[in-house]
Amino acid sequence: MDNAPLILLLLVGAVLLFGVGVVIVNRRRAKQSTSIEAPSSPRIEAPPEHTVEEDTVEEATVEEVTVEPEVVAPDVIAPPKKRFAKAAGVFTGAFAGVRAKERITADTWDDLEETLLRADVGLAVTTSLLEKLKTRVDKKEISDPRALIDALQADMTAQLSANSRDLNFDSNVKQPNIWLFVGVNGVGKTTTIGKVAFAQKSRGHNVLLAAGDTFRAAAGEQLETWAGRADVPVVRGNEGGDPSAVIFDAVQSAAARGCDLVLADTAGRLQNKTNLMEELKKVRRVAEKEAGTVTEVLLVIDATTGQNGLSQATQFAEATNVTGVVLTKLDGSAKGGIVFAIETQLAIPVKLVGLGETIDDLVAFEPEEYIRELFASDS
């Protein structure tokens, strides 16, 4: 019984020691936990992802802003043998096959007919060409396939060589000369006008452009862009306004500025829409009132449309007295035979041809060069 206080004291001391031990252990665990988790915090940051996104955006913006192929030095026009490669390709195999034969047979005529029709020379022109050659063969004037191909080349050249291809400019009149550009939508009228402006200014003319296509969205802006590239003034009207009024104002402005040549854009229209064609007649009448003289009406045709171009030429010629044709995309067309259909059936000369995308690749059409390439590619 005398030992009871001593035992109680020992128990209290043991409890205190155990409590102190628990506190120390908990503090050590807390310190260890802090030291393990601390280094992991920097790994949460991810700035490189933001940097990559910003660089990508900047590069894309630069590419979009700097794409301006027309302002760089113009490309050298392709050598003659490369200008009409696609059209020549239609003739190459067939003519080579005919030349390789020993004599002229029924198959020879079939091959020639198929080739000319594939090139969109047209049925009437093809028939006329081959009938003349058959007559000469019957008369023994032509006796072998090689001579037959040579005769065909000479006849096709003769058909195209008779027409004058000069662009009409009357230097004797005091008022500005006016060249109207007509055609369906999408053939490249506005682009053609810009290229003609560049060429005529380089020849010494004082050129002004008239944005007469008031119906197509952004047509005026497009022509204004080309005017900037050619460094010539342009007169625009309100979108949806009267195209005749725009062209009339442009001619008066040209006279006041001392410009001697007005190149007038017109709205694209389908050749079978009577009301639109009547409007085109009005444009020409108004353009010639007092201040100007229309000396050229140039019909712009996409060479890749083939025989549809002949239909366009027929209808536009009736409405506006077309004086010449501009064939765009002739370098990329296998249907270049439309040249023969237009010139022989309508007596309208092809005056200019488009051979690429640069501002100086709209050139005078040289029929001898064109036909020579068509026939020479297989020899």
Q: What is the pLDDT of residue 298?
A: 96
Residue 378 covered by a domain: no
238 in a domain, yes or no?
A: yes
Q: What is the CATH number of the domain that holds 209?
A: 3.40.50.300
Q: Are 118 and 185 in a shared domain? A: no
**Which pLDDT does position 272 carry in this prediction?**
58
Asked if residue 292 and residue 194 are part of one domain, the reply reads yes
Q: Please identify, among 322, 349, 367, the residue that sits at the C-terminal boundary of a domain.
A: 322
| Residue 140 resides in a domain | yes
Report the predicted TM-score, pTM, of the whole model to 2 decimal places: 0.73
**Is the same domain home to 151 and 181?**
no
Query: Could you tell me the sign of the dihedral formed by the alpha carbons of 367, 317, 169, 357, in that order?
Result: negative
Q: Both 183 and 295 in a single domain?
A: yes
Out of 296, 322, 348, a domain closes at: 322
Q: Are 340 and 117 in contact (CB under 8 A)?
A: no
- Series of mean pLDDT values for 10-residue runs along the chain (379 residues): 59 57 50 39 34 29 25 38 62 80 92 89 92 96 94 92 87 92 89 95 95 83 91 88 89 93 86 71 82 91 81 82 90 76 87 87 89 69
**Which tokens go with 224?**
């204004």
Give the CATH number of the domain where residue 153 resides.
1.20.120.140
Sign of CA dihedral 281, 286, 289, 292: negative
Q: Which residue range is the domain that position 276 belongs to?
A: 177-322
Cβ neighbour number for residue 368 with a 10 Å cutoff: 10
- The number of CA neighbours under 13 Å toward the Cβ of 337 is 24
Question: Of 322, 340, 372, which one is at a domain's C-terminal end?
Answer: 322
